[in-house]
A and B are shown apart, each in its own frame.
Chain A
Amino acid sequence: MNKTRKIVIVGLLVSLGLILHFVETMLPMTAIVPGAKLGLANIVSLLGIVFFGFSGGLQIVLLRIILGSLLAGTFMTINFYLSFSGGLLSFLVMYVAYRYASNKFSLIGVSVLGAFFHNTGQIIVAAYVISNSAIFYYLPFLTLLAIPTGIGVGLVSYFTADYLPKEISGGV
């Protein structure tokens, strides 16, 4: 894949991730469990890993989180640290799972793992910020919720990657 094409696709995925992120904030998921998220933006993290491997995927994740928080006016605030820690942890876990265990896990499994660690990472940071470990009360509910959202994200990523031409997706 040539360089220009790569830049274009990274840019596309980042903006897609931003839009998904903002769509998500409009959905009343927190009514179910406080802090719950669909994790739609994980779709682009996952696609980034599939298309570009580690460095490209990391670029997409970092750009999405930083730009997203700049646009929302939360850069360097607690919200930023929360998405940063959750996003980074889930990206690392997804990368390792995809890279070294893709013969065992499909994109669904990878994405469920990502969602699981996204929530765990966020809760650990949140517990630190508010110095109250009582927040772990919500962990099991969030991890339970990570299953349907993880499956959804995994399926969407799978279909998207499958739908795109082989020269972009590199084949899934």
Chain B
Amino acid sequence: MELPGRWKKIIILIFLVVLILISSLYYNQVSKSDYYEVTTYFMNTVVQIKVEYRSEVKAELNQIINILKNQAEQFDRYQAFSLVSKINQAEGKKVEINKSLAEIILTTKQYYYLLNGSFDITIAPLLDLWGFGKDSRNTVPSQAEIRSVLELVNFEQVEITKENKKYFLKLAPGQKIDLGGIAKGFIVDQAVQLLEEAGYQHVFVNAGGNIKVSGKKIDGTSWQIGIRLPKGEQPLTSQPVLKLTRGAVATSGDYERYFEVDGKKYSHLINPKTGYPADELRSVTVYAEQALIADLLSTALFMLEPARAIEIVSKIEGVEVFIIGKDRFWKSNKFDYFSAKKRE
């Protein structure tokens, strides 16, 4: 039987439709990878930067990463010639610091007062005592040791002065600062700012779980960021997921760094007021406009009663918190908006 002409056309049409279907499927997959992504390692953690692809992206990102690495080095108290090392070795003398460090410390000091001392950059001697500094010890320090070191932990003794447009910082003798609770956040803010200035519109930066985004994803959807569920005792049955198009999120958890003695866990989240690791909670996740604030608050709120933490957060514009305890969880009013439950 001959094939009539019009049937030929129909066959061709149907095959074209099938072809278009297949190719659009394929196109969907390709368009998702129109990002350029760099993963690098500094500040003792993995730093991931993801932006939309453009021809000069590789060079631009390398340049930005170099700036960030240099900045991060200055905040590292284990780098022999860093700015922070210089401050820590000054033994009560004034040290000239740059503007960005001065601003960080001034912001941090505001939060020190707001949080009634549960975040304190002068915690360094205490961290060293517990073995969460450079050398680990894996034994519990004696009460006397803690008491003597605790005297050095006092942000109020840190003096910042401004003379002739220069900033100076002075610690009390024996005091040392550790920027571990804010450096990652600060660097993430810097990264996003530099990328925005370079004109990128789909920006995702992740430094060891400190995440900040700017703009939607290329496909127009929000960035989906899961909160790690602690292993073992915890109350959640499903992973909370945040959907963000701007702002930052950071988490502090007792699973990050810890040691165990006689079956009891001692985490690196040491309360600067008591001198002992906080052990009531499993993790605290904070959303804020600035990664520095999210980073700082996630560490600080870990030390507090959840109800108190939520009360504090409710007074700060644009900050939300999600707290995972051992048998229940807490969240600030608006966190719902970001949590997995909203997606149902």
Contacts and interface: CB of A to CB of B under 8 A. Distances in A.
Contacts of A52: 1
Interface in A108-158: 121, 124, 127-128, 133
Contacts of A89: 18
Nearest to B24: A128
Could you tell me the dominant secondary structure of chain B's interface residues?
A: helix
B11 A55 contact: no
Contacts of A96: 11
B29 A133 contact: yes
Most central of B18, B21, B22, B29 by chain A CB within 10 Å = B18
A54 B25 contact: no
A89 B21 CA distance: 13
Nearest to B17: A85
B27 interface: no
A128 B29 CA distance: 13
Given A54-B7, A55-B7, A124 B22 contact: yes
Contacts of B25: 124, 127-128, 133
B3 interface: yes
Contacts of A88: 14
Contacts of A92: 11, 14-15
Most central of B1, B25, B29 by chain A CB within 10 Å = B1
Nearest to B2: A53
B4 interface: yes
Nearest to A53: B1
Interface string A32-60: 00000000000000000000111100000
A54 B14 contact: no
Interface string A87-115: 01100100010010000000000000000
A121 B18 CA distance: 9
Interface in A50-74: 52-55
B195 to A, nearest CB: 31
Contacts of A99: 3
Given A124-B21, A128-B21, A54 B29 contact: no
Contacts of B21: 124, 128
B192 to A, nearest CB: 31
Nearest to A125: B21
Contact of A54 (B3, B15, B22): B3
A139 to B, nearest CB: 13
A94 to B, nearest CB: 13
Contacts of A121: 18
Contacts of B22: 124
Nearest to A170: B1
Interface in B4-57: 4, 7, 11, 14-15, 18, 21-22, 25, 29
A128 B22 CA distance: 10
B1 A54 contact: yes
A55 B4 CA distance: 9
A59 to B, nearest CB: 12
B22 to A, nearest CB: 7
Nearest to A127: B25
A55 B29 CA distance: 38
A76 to B, nearest CB: 18
A124 B7 CA distance: 24
A23 B21 CA distance: 32
A55 B8 CA distance: 11
A51 to B, nearest CB: 10
Nearest to A117: B18
Contacts of B1: 52-55
Contacts of A133: 25, 29
A89 B1 CA distance: 20
A155 B338 CA distance: 59
A125 to B, nearest CB: 8
A127 B14 CA distance: 19
Contacts of A128: 21, 25
Contacts of B11: 92, 96
A52 B25 CA distance: 36
Given A88-B14, A96-B11, A133-B25, 9 more contacts: A53-B1, A53-B3, A54-B7, A55-B7, A92-B14, A121-B18, A124-B18, A127-B25, A128-B21
Top-4 shortest CB links A-B: A53-B1, A54-B3, A54-B7, A124-B21
10 contacts: A55-B4, A55-B7, A88-B14, A92-B14, A92-B15, A121-B18, A124-B18, A124-B25, A128-B25, A133-B25
Interface of B: 1, 3-4, 7, 11, 14-15, 18, 21-22, 25, 29
Interface of A: 52-55, 88-89, 92, 96, 99, 121, 124, 127-128, 133
